[in-house]
Chains A and B, each alone.
Chain A
Amino acid sequence: MLRDAAFGQYYPARSFVHSMDPRAKILLTILYLVAVFLASSYTAFAAVILFLGLAILFSGVKLKSVLKSVKPILFLIVFTTIINLFFVREGTVLFEWWIFRLTDATLHFTAKMALRLVLLVMGSSLLTLTTTPVALTDGLESLLKPLKLIRFPVHELALIMSIALRFIPILMDETDRIIRAQKARGADFESGNLFRRAKAMLPVLIPLLVSAFRRADELSDAMDSRCYWGAKGRTKFKQLRFSWRDLVGALVTLVFFGLIVWDMVAPFFPILVIPS
């Protein structure tokens, strides 16, 4: 079944991270992503990994599930690594063959780049693994509220996102079913060149599109019937409230973030370096 393979799906559990406020989680994830980009020394990376490890530990999510999120970008990692081998030219040469030149700088650079990508994906998938789509969109809606002042349709955007998330598994199942139905009529999706294969997908895409429109129609009727009238006058069932967990989470994240920033700027301010 296709839907079980969907990337970054919610991992139901009761844990410290699960019960944090989605807004806090979104903000802290952004901070984490910035930290991953800022990290330059191996010490800084160690700090990021330690932080991620702690977060995973307190999320109750199995390490395997988080690691699985890396699989789809494995190709990207390999690709950037190869590109790097071509373009990074400085440093002491360790090995040279034809147009390839491996230097110590290349090695460090590619290693850090790959590490960065993996940490980025793992961190952000931890957010989606521990936060339900509804909470996620609620959090986004709340964080983006100031944009309402410039008439940005924050509520509508959040609703569209949550409905899209809700229908992904349904449409994936449907795709699966239509593919099988057409295969039973002898359709062949695997052979031929790219053009032929794209053309072979038409008998799948058209019924899928027709069905998506039908579903959208029915859903809008169902929403109207349940008094949906836009954002005006709406209340929220689940009030977002910051708790002590969010404070703890924020403090821990800030400490690590501080460490990484310090690690980055310390070389420029010799006064900050702890004499060894």
Chain B
Amino acid sequence: MSSILTLDHVVFRYRSEEDRPPAVNDVSFEIEEGLFVALVGHNGSGKSTLAKLFNGLLQPESGEVRVMGLSTSDPKKLFELRKQIGLVFQNPDNQTVATIVEDDVAFGPENIGVPPAEIEERVRYALNAVGMAEFRQSSASRLSGGQKQRIAIAGALALHPKILVLDESTAMLDPRGRREVLEVVRALNRTDGITVVLITHFMEEAALADRVMVMDDGVLVLDGTPAEIFAREKELTERGLDVPLPVKVKNLLAEQGIFLQGDVLTEEELAEAVWQYRSKT
């Protein structure tokens, strides 16, 4: 499969932090099309900086970022590039431009000069995809946090992107809102084939991904399947992170001499593995 997002020895330093090590320090990776990737790391590990490098909001000091072969360093390609990669940010209040939901979702298509009739189609598609069709005419300020973030996702979807990046978009939400957003994102990945990069520090969310990348002090330190990554409980804890509770339980059971079979990352998988274990003995 081809790489849809490529980072090639990317270094980035904030201007105010010239005396400190770079916020992103020689990071390279490739993300294949259709994947669900989780990017984790403690606060200040450089993961949000990465998100802004993905679509050229920030320019690398050295190295290159390419989205579908387009380099973010080429100012002529930036417009085309941003159609392909949608970003959703943390604070639901600070990414809506218009007061009324449908006007906000239309903002992106308007910017790229889509004819009005097609904008209508795109708005309808995007709001359906996030399950917010009935709120088309609502005022954004009266929605819940989870609903606002779904509108922000719809705003990105209306540009028909190939990649969706969520930069801690669940951090400010309550559990219900988090679940809503996560369900929408997983469905988009599975049914519409949109590549998803989920930046988060909820390990339970990362457990749902196909691939987990761990950032620490600007460096990509771990990269693998959730099972591979969460097998390193001690290392993750040292890096200010954690493992999902089911993994912890599996490890504690192993200490008692009870070894569960298969990958245990989610609650369902743990329950299943425990049940299997008992059926066998």
Contact = CB atoms under 8 A, between A and B. Distances in A.
Do the two shown chains form a genuine complex with each other? Answer: yes
Interface of A: 3, 10, 12, 132-134, 162-163, 165-166, 169-170, 214-215, 218-219, 221-229, 233-239
A235 B114 CA distance: 6
A196 to B, nearest CB: 33
Interface string B173-209: 0000000000000000000000000000000000000
Contact of A235 (B94, B95, B113): B113
Given A219-B95, A226-B108, A234-B110, A169 B57 contact: no
Interface of B: 52, 55, 57, 79, 82-83, 86-87, 89, 91, 93-100, 102-103, 106-116, 119-120, 123, 137, 139-141, 152, 155-156, 159
B109 A229 contact: no
A132 B111 contact: no
Query: Which secondary structure dominates chain A's binding surface?
Result: helix
A228 B156 CA distance: 12
A134 B119 contact: no
Contacts of B91: 215, 218
A235 B99 contact: no
12 contacts: A134-B99, A134-B100, A134-B103, A165-B99, A166-B141, A221-B87, A222-B89, A225-B156, A226-B155, A228-B107, A237-B109, A237-B110
B5 to A, nearest CB: 15
Contacts of A165: 99
Nearest to A216: B94
A237 B105 CA distance: 10
A228 B100 CA distance: 18
A169 B141 contact: yes
A3 B79 CA distance: 37
B87 A225 contact: yes
A228 to B, nearest CB: 5
B144 to A, nearest CB: 14
Contacts of B82: 224-227
Contacts of A236: 110, 116
A170 B55 CA distance: 28
Contact of B95 (A133, A134, A214, A218): A218
A170 B141 contact: yes
A227 B112 contact: yes
A108 B137 CA distance: 47
A119 to B, nearest CB: 28
Given A132-B99, A134-B99, A166-B99, A229 B86 contact: no
Contacts of A225: 55, 57, 82, 86-87, 156
B104 to A, nearest CB: 9
Contacts of A233: 112-113
Contact of B98 (A166, A214, A218, A221): A166
Contacts of B103: 132, 134, 237-238
Question: What 6 A-B pairs are tightest by C-beta distance, nearest first?
Answer: A237-B106, A222-B95, A218-B94, A225-B87, A226-B108, A227-B111
B55 A219 contact: no
